[in-house]
Amino acid sequence: MAALGEAGSGRDPQEERQARLTAQRILADHLHHRPPTPRRWRQSRRADPNLRHWPDTRLDLTGAALVDLNLRDCRIGEARFDGATFTGDAWPDEQEAMRRAEEALAP
């Protein structure tokens, strides 16, 4: 498979990047978890801020080329990033991801 933007791949690098960014935005939007806002007893009911959230998602981005990916405040049931490449302002950075994984596994 040709690399992102590789000459002779027959793909327009700009279109490839736009498709990647769009897919990443959709994922991040559905994985983002917003804490419920405290309500006073007299406040009217507001729509649940997490109606679009996909709970307990098992995300496998093995070998993916991720560009400017931001998964801050996202809740993911399980994630794999084996062999994935993070470019630009992508998150999670390796150290942060390892710290969070260790915290999750701590007794």
In the structure, what pLDDT confidence band is assigned to residue 99 with cuts at 50, 70 and 90?
low
d(CA 98, CA 106): 12
| In the block, residue with structure tokens 């007794």 | 107
Look at residue 22 in the predicted model and tell me its pLDDT: 94
Given a cut of 90, is residue 23 above it in pLDDT? Answer: yes
Q: Of 22-26, 49-53, 69-73, 83-87, where does the model show the most confidence?
A: 22-26
d(CA 55, CA 52): 9
d(CA 36, CA 16): 36
Two tokens at 89? 């302002």
Instruction: Look at strands 58-60 and 65-67 and give their pairing.
Output: unpaired
Look at residue 6 in the predicted model and tell me its pLDDT: 52
- pLDDT digits over 30-68, tens only? 888 777 666 665 555 555 566 777 888 898 999 998 888
